[in-house]
Amino acid sequence: MKHLANTWFAEQLSNHNIYTEYLEDHHPARMPCLDIRHLDWANASKTAKLLGMRFVALWAAQAGQQDKKALYAYMAFVHPEHRYALLRTPINLENPEIASISQHYIAAYRMERNMQDMFGIKVNDIFDNRWWIKHEHWPEDAHPLLDSFDGNTPMASDPDRADIDYDYVPCDSECAYEIPVGPVHAGIIEPGHFRFLAVGEKILNMEERLGYVHKGIEKAMQGRNVEDALKLAGRVSGDSTVGHSWVFAQACEYAADMSISTRASYIRGVLCERERMANHIGDIGAVCNDAAFAFMHVQCSRLREDMARLHAEAFGHRLLMDCISIGGVSRDLSTDMCQKLIQQSRDIAAEVEHLRAIYADAPSIQQRVIGAGIVSIEDATDIGLLGFVGRASGHYPDARIEAVYAPYDELNVPIPKGKLGGVSTRVWVRFEEVANAARMIIQLLEHLPEGNIQTAWKAPQAGESGFAAIEGWRGEIAAWVRFAQDGSIDRYFVRDPSAINWLGLELAVRTVPVPDFPLVNKSFNCSYAGHDL
């Protein structure tokens, strides 16, 4: 798979006097990785902002077996026309520090804090210096992603730190009060803490505290062979397992410079769109249930269950786990099964349209969702909100278009364009995406080409890296992988869309009274597991 190197970003940077060096061992060439000088770091992100690029992710990685001492920071951007580009800069391991880019891209600040926690890299001029994923009871000098940290021995707990509380945004007014919610909730949902500052029923501020489901995925990836690593990648966030396994597989395939058969890519597309349909349907019901409109919830659960049962029959797993393999897919589809999938996708899309009419005609639920939890277009663009959350707020990034990967390069991917940014718009976008996904599934299955579903995997050389972006059902999932010797994983970084969309929720809830928070939260439905890693 030979692509021309994408030199646009390098040219633009050199126009701004930033010297770049193209890295040969990074793939694919159309999403290049450029090495820049340490002192140009903040300036490069400023230039990217000026060029109208969207911030994708920021992470760090130690150079692994080639050069034990070297530590690098990475950031990725994407331009609507000129696609993705990565920047890398070396960091001195003796005195690790780097400039903050959060004044240009606000969404970077939690990733910078994460980098501080995990690598002990000091981020200069960051406006928020609190620990993020690392909770207060961790020892101060524990930086789990450094090579020197041993992941197999339990950390010595520090009794002095046991009682330290996270430093929440304070309020000294006597009228305002705090509502701590979670991490243990009354219902069965993922753990996360929300700290509200409220006056009466009005929310002044809501602060998220995440990291309760930190599982050490990045550390656990190191040294795994690709098959085991793929299994783990598919469990980063269980409800978007297809998206996460696909992005890992794609990054590996790019790194190895291999391409998969068209049939396999079509089946991957079917899997991903089915996952999108099932999750959106489930969430639409859950949003309605949070406003005590239980009818929709029951109906949507039923449809989702029908999908899960057919998934078990067709792919061997109700939630489609482990259906994607490195170099293809693990299950082929018979002609009969294709017909079944086509038929069910069509039937369910029709039923959802029926439910949509009921939902749209019920004034009491409409009254709840319209105008609640609004994120303005400016804020959405500023943060770079992803997926259906972005699309509801006038910001329309879609990796299926921006990252041009098979099978979507042959499909017309319609993007529902919402503008109002409230709960009702997010639900509207989800209804539209269900319909579009069903259409794409039918189109893919009707034109499913013959061929192998598996291409032989040939491990890339040590030090080769790959970057991929996949539009999962929540939005763009970005992943970067680098290989060690003997074809095992050296470093893996993945950014779930939730890492960015959580910021949108903090803004959205400022417009609603306290009891409307669950409704707004559900309309975002960010992943805790995908964020905490």
Partner 1 sequence: MSSMFFQCLQAMLMLLMAPVLAGFLSTLKARLQNRHGAGILQPWRDIRKLFGKEVVLAEHASWIFRFTPYIVFTATAMAASVVPALLLDTPLSLTADVIALVALLGLARFFLALAGMDIGTAFGGMGASREMTFAALAEPAMLMSVFVLAIGAHSTNLTTMISHTLTTPLLIQPSIAFALVAMLMVAIAEAGRIPIDNPTTHLELTMIHEAMLLEYSGRHLALMEWASMVKLLLFSTLIIDLFIPWGISVESSFIGVLLAFVIWLLKLIVLLVALAVLETSLAKLRLFEVPQYLGTAFVLAFLGLILHYMLEVGA
Please select the residue that binds partner 1; options are 50, 199, 294, 404, rule is CB under 8 A: 294
451 near partner 1 (CB under 8 A): no
For the CB of residue 128, give the shortest distance to partner 1 in the complex, in Å: 25
Q: Quick one: how many helices (H) and strands (E) in the chain?
A: 17, 16
**Using CA atoms, how far apart are residues 263 and 225, in angstroms rounded to an integer?**
25
Pair 53, 72: CB distance under 8 Å: no
Question: To which residue do tokens 């707990």 refer?
Answer: 157
Q: Which is nearer to partner 1, 66 or 366 (CB)?
A: 366
Q: Which is nearer to partner 1, 288 or 326 (CB)?
A: 288
Residues touching partner 1, count (CB under 8 A): 30
Please select the residue that binds partner 1; options are 293, 315, 431, 480, rule is CB under 8 A: 293
Which positions from 13 through 72 interact with partner 1, judged by CB under 8 A? none
For the CB of residue 311, give the shortest distance to partner 1 in the complex, in Å: 22
Which positions from 156 through 185 interact with partner 1, judged by CB under 8 A? 177-181, 185
Distances (CA, A) of 387 to 283, 334, 430, 437, 501: 14, 32, 10, 14, 9
Q: Which is nearer to partner 1, 303 or 321 (CB)?
A: 303
For the CB of residue 359, give the shortest distance to partner 1 in the complex, in Å: 10
Which positions from 300 through 339 interact with partner 1, judged by CB under 8 A? 302
Please select the residue that binds partner 1; options are 8, 131, 212, 295, rule is CB under 8 A: 295
SS3 assignment, position 77: strand
**Residue 22: which H helix or E strand, with range?**
strand 20-22
DSSP-derived letter for residue 32 is -
For the CB of residue 52, give the shortest distance to partner 1 in the complex, in Å: 39
Strand ranges inside 340-474, DSSP E:
465-471
For the CB of residue 178, give the shortest distance to partner 1 in the complex, in Å: 7
For the CB of residue 378, give the shortest distance to partner 1 in the complex, in Å: 26
Binding track over 359-378 against partner 1, x by CB under 8 A:
---x-xx-xx----------
**Residue 109: which H helix or E strand, with range?**
helix 109-119
515 near partner 1 (CB under 8 A): yes
For the CB of residue 347, give the shortest distance to partner 1 in the complex, in Å: 17
**Using CA atoms, how far apart are residues 9 and 85, in angstroms rounded to an integer?**
7
Please select the residue that binds partner 1; options are 50, 155, 298, 350, rule is CB under 8 A: 298
Q: Which is nearer to partner 1, 345 or 521 (CB)?
A: 521
Pair 488, 371: CB distance under 8 Å: no
Q: Which pairs from 393-400 meet CB under 8 Å and 24+ separation?
A: 393/418, 393/419, 393/421, 393/425, 393/504, 394/418, 394/419, 394/421, 397/54, 397/78, 397/80, 397/475, 397/476, 398/471, 398/476, 399/469, 399/470, 399/471, 399/475, 399/476, 399/477, 399/478, 400/471
For the CB of residue 368, give the shortest distance to partner 1 in the complex, in Å: 5
For the CB of residue 287, give the shortest distance to partner 1 in the complex, in Å: 11
Which of these segments, 307-315, 357-365, 404-412, 472-480, binds partner 1 (CB under 8 A)?
357-365
Q: Which pairs from 192-198 meet CB under 8 Å and 24+ separation?
A: 192/528, 194/517, 195/168, 195/169, 196/514, 196/517, 197/169, 197/171, 198/514
Q: Which is nearer to partner 1, 151 or 180 (CB)?
A: 180
Q: Which is nearer to partner 1, 84 or 431 (CB)?
A: 431
Phi, psi (degrees; rounded to nearest 5) at 450: -75, 160
Binding track over 263-292 against partner 1, x by CB under 8 A:
-------------------------x-xxx
At residue 187's C-alpha, the angle toward residues 272 and 289, to 5°, is 65
Please select the residue that binds partner 1; options are 154, 159, 170, 187, rule is CB under 8 A: 187
Which positions from 188 through 217 interact with partner 1, judged by CB under 8 A? 201
Q: Which is nearer to partner 1, 194 or 246 (CB)?
A: 194
**Using CA atoms, how far apart are residues 414 and 394, in angstroms rounded to an integer?**
15
**Residue 199: which H helix or E strand, with range?**
strand 193-199
State the residues that interact with partner 1 by CB under 8 A: 177-181, 185-187, 201, 288, 290-295, 298-299, 302, 362, 364-365, 367-368, 513-518
